[in-house]
Structure 1
Amino acid sequence: MNAPLAHFIVIYLQRDRQQWHRLPEIYAEQVVFVDPVCRIEGLAALTRYFSALYRRFEHCRVEIVSQQQQGDEAWLGWVMTFVHPRLVGGKPIRVEGATRLQFDPWGKVRLQRDYFDLGAMLYEQVPLLGRFVRTLRARLGA
């Protein structure tokens, strides 16, 4: 693993309410961030997004379970466990996902694309909607 990826992982795993000032160490100023919920352009917007997202969690932990890198592109497999007071009675929710990273020539992330099942993360955790989504998945064999 090269130094920019190793540094990204260390800072990324330390993300919390007190660490937002460290994001410029790993993200380019013109970073593009994409996940199943949104597309964000620019470091300032990404910092605001992460800050707002983490304010909603009582707890959030990400574990990197796999990593691959070739040239300026890397893939991370991860498991996120979080607690949101309004979902499943405040019980921990576990979601598996993957992240594609592209680094700029200075070793900062210029593109981050997160892949995860939004249904498992959110929709299945809402009482009535969750029952509907789980029933639909079972019928479709997913």
Structure 2
Amino acid sequence: MNVESVGSVYQHLSKRNLYLLDDIYHEDVVFEDAAHRLEGWSALQQYFSSLYSNVHRCDFDIKEQQQVGDSGFLTWTMTLEHPKLKSGSQVQVNGVSHLKFYQGKVIYHRDYFDLGEMLYENLPLLGKVIKTIKQRLGQ
């Protein structure tokens, strides 16, 4: 398993083929992102199952990948369609995944992305407030 293989799986991932993740993640994987820290494959598996059951679409377009030894990075754009975000319209979020491998599987997965860009800016009412704050910070 390497960064390229992981990226390839994510580019084809959907709610119909989440089983593809079984071969990627180590039993003792640690997964972190802006909103979660999960430990163990069973917790991560439940997270993905819940995530994909609630979205209409969640696609990843892998832009770049780099690996040195047992550590690597993927840059990506995620296209998300969730009924509670932006009235179900597409939301695009850019991000980076840091991956570490152990025994041929991912033992550590950390996603870096702007949670405001993905979530807060696309919620009714709160989205307008966040966008206004960002505009004022840019002045």
| TM superposition score category, shorter chain reference | over 0.9
Q: Distance in 2 between matches of 1:67 and 1:7?
A: 10
- 1:38-53 map, 5 Å: 38-53=36-51
Question: 1:81 aligned to 79, 82, 87, which one?
Answer: 79
Q: Distance in 2 between matches of 1:68 and 1:10?
A: 14
Q: Distance in 2 between matches of 1:81 and 1:69?
A: 24
**2:129 matches 1:132:** yes
SS in 2 for 1:127: coil
- 1:23-34 map, 5 Å: 23-34=21-32
Residue identity opposite 1:51 in structure 2: S
Q: Distance in 2 between matches of 1:23 and 1:90?
A: 26
Higher-RCO chain (CA-CA 8 Å, sequence separation at least 6): 2
- 1:1-142 map, 5 Å: 4-104=2-102, 106-141=103-138
In the TM superposition, residue 88 of structure 1 has moved relative to its aligned partner by 1.4
Identity %: 43
Q: Distance in 2 between matches of 1:22 and 1:61?
A: 15
Runs of 5+ in structure 1 lacking a partner? none
In the TM superposition, residue 11 of structure 1 has moved relative to its aligned partner by 2.0
Please list every run of at least 4 consecutive aligned residues from structure 1 whose deviation after the TM superposition is greater than 6 angstroms. Answer: none
TM-score, length-scaled by structure 2: 0.94
Q: Distance in 2 between matches of 1:130 and 1:84?
A: 15
CA contact (8 A) 2:4 2:65 kept: no
Q: Is 72-81 or 7-16 further displaced after alignment?
A: 7-16
Q: Distance in 1 between matches of 2:86 and 2:59?
A: 17
RMSD of aligned Cα (Å): 1.4
Q: Distance in 2 between matches of 1:42 and 1:91?
A: 33
In the TM superposition, residue 15 of structure 1 has moved relative to its aligned partner by 2.1
Give aligned pairs, total.
Answer: 139
Q: Distance in 1 between matches of 2:22 and 2:28?
A: 11
In the TM superposition, residue 21 of structure 1 has moved relative to its aligned partner by 2.3
Runs of 5+ in structure 2 lacking a partner? none
Deviations 1:84-121 (A, max 9, x none): 112212111000000000011x2210000000000010
